[in-house]
Amino acid sequence: MNFPAEQIHAVTSHKRRGAISNAFRYGVDYVLIDLENTAKTPILFSRNRFNLNSIHDVDHGGPLKEGSGAKWARKVFSEHGLISPGLKILLLTQPRFLMYSFNPVSFWLAFIGDALVAVISEVSTPFAQRHSYVCHQHDFTPITKDARMIRPKLLHVSPFQNIEGDYEFIFDIRPKHIDIRIIYRNENDGVIATLQGAREPLSSFGLLKAGLRRPLGALRTMILIHWQALRLKFKGAKYRTTPPSPKSEVS
């Protein structure tokens, strides 16, 4: 596996479970990048400097806005027992748009050869909080589309959901396509969230096309989050105040 970066023209969907239903489906643009690879990137994409789209290490790997990039991810995988000289770590995330950054969830994907063996789901909220969930199978056997990894919910993501309950993570990462599903369950309540899209080489043409089709990039994501929150409020969903951040950074 050897490439500097790819682009995913993806679709994300959310379906709320429980007494108050709500669902949406939006197009979204992600990049899949090896932050430890110094290969040249397209003209409209940069690492750690201004551009139409860019990735900055401070946005990922550690506390919100205080990240250290792939170094942090490699440390976390090592602390969980994943140590391999051939370990490749890729970041799947929305890039900054004209320096604006917000990602509800990004994914650090760990590969040995072509096999996905672990994932860190880096969850961030509009309330300036972040928590990361490490997913892997016993003895780091390959994660396939049939694997189901359960983690307790620790972060206050939505003001219309409790913190109680569990996440079920499902990853289907193929050479030409990604399909990620996160199912939150809390008795009769919960949310089913998906991210699906085709992989293609990152290019300035692709970035420009995405910018014309879905203007504002990550800023558009933030606007849509507030729009959906307003819809839930009008439907009568109970608003919960934001509790303190989880004591642990990773679980």
Summarize pLDDT for 94-108 with one digit per residue, the tens.
999 998 888 899 999
- pLDDT value of residue 1: 42
- pLDDT value of residue 188: 84
- pLDDT value of residue 172: 97
Residues of the chain with pLDDT below 50 are: 1-2
Tell whether pTM > 0.85: yes
Q: What is the DSSP string of 154-221?
A: -S---TTS-S-SEEEEEEEEETTEEEEEEEEEETTEEEEEEEEEEEEE--HHHHHHHHHHSTTTHHHH
- pLDDT value of residue 158: 84
